[in-house]
């Protein structure tokens, strides 16, 4: 399995909004999920650390939920960026999404010590609202599915009143 995303949308998030524990490049303690295009689908690769354990031999479900969440919002950002005529690496400002809803279905226990691959399919449901269907694989085993509805982050988000 190819395990690298060359042009990740998270690499281009504005510094003020690059602190997410899941995908923020500036959060030194975070997971650093990176989402990019793989044809018409999106992809994120991640190898959980030993500390991301639920019970011996299996990955903690919260890591899987975080992967689905960040992959979903990153995928929505990729899709809107492309709709606006840009690709990662173009130097153009990228849209930032926040999660409106998150649904995760755990199909099988996720084995520890296996690289994970999140694959997304994106659907626009409103100019500022996108739905992403996500599948999470541990090697070739489908372990979880999810659905993320992301909304374009309001301009006032993160600003102190």
Q: What is the pLDDT along the chain (161 residues), one digit of tens a residue?
A: 468 899 999 999 999 989 999 999 999 999 999 999 999 999 999 999 999 999 999 999 999 999 999 999 999 999 999 999 999 989 898 999 999 999 999 999 999 999 999 999 999 999 999 999 999 999 999 999 999 999 999 877 765 55
| Other CB atoms within 10 A of residue 45 CB | 18
Q: Which two tokens stand for residue 155?
A: 């301009």
Task: Report how far apart, in Å, the C-alpha atoms of 29 and of each of 25, 32, 62, 68, 142 are.
Answer: 10, 9, 16, 19, 27
Mapped onto helix, strand or coil, the DSSP state of residue 17 is helix
pTM of the entire structure? 0.94
């Amino acid at each position: 399995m190819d395990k690298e995303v060359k042009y990740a949308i998270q690499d281009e998030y504005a510094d003020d909004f690059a602190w997410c524990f899941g995908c923020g490049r500036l959060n030194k303690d975070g997971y650093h999920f990176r989402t990019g295009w793989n044809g018409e689908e999106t992809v994120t690769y991640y190898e959980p650390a030993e500390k991301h354990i639920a019970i011996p031999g299996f990955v903690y479900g919260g890591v899987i939920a975080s992967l689905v969440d960040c992959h979903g919002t990153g995928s929505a950002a990729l899709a809107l960026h492309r709709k606006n005529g840009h690709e990662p690496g173009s130097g153009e400002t990228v849209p930032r999404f926040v999660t409106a809803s998150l649904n995760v279905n755990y199909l099988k226990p996720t084995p520890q010590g296996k690289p994970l691959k999140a694959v997304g399919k994106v659907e626009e449901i409103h100019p500022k609202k996108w739905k992403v269907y996500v599948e999470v694989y541990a090697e070739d085993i489908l372990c979880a599915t999810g659905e993320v509805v992301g909304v374009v982050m309001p301009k006032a988000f993160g600003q102190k009143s």
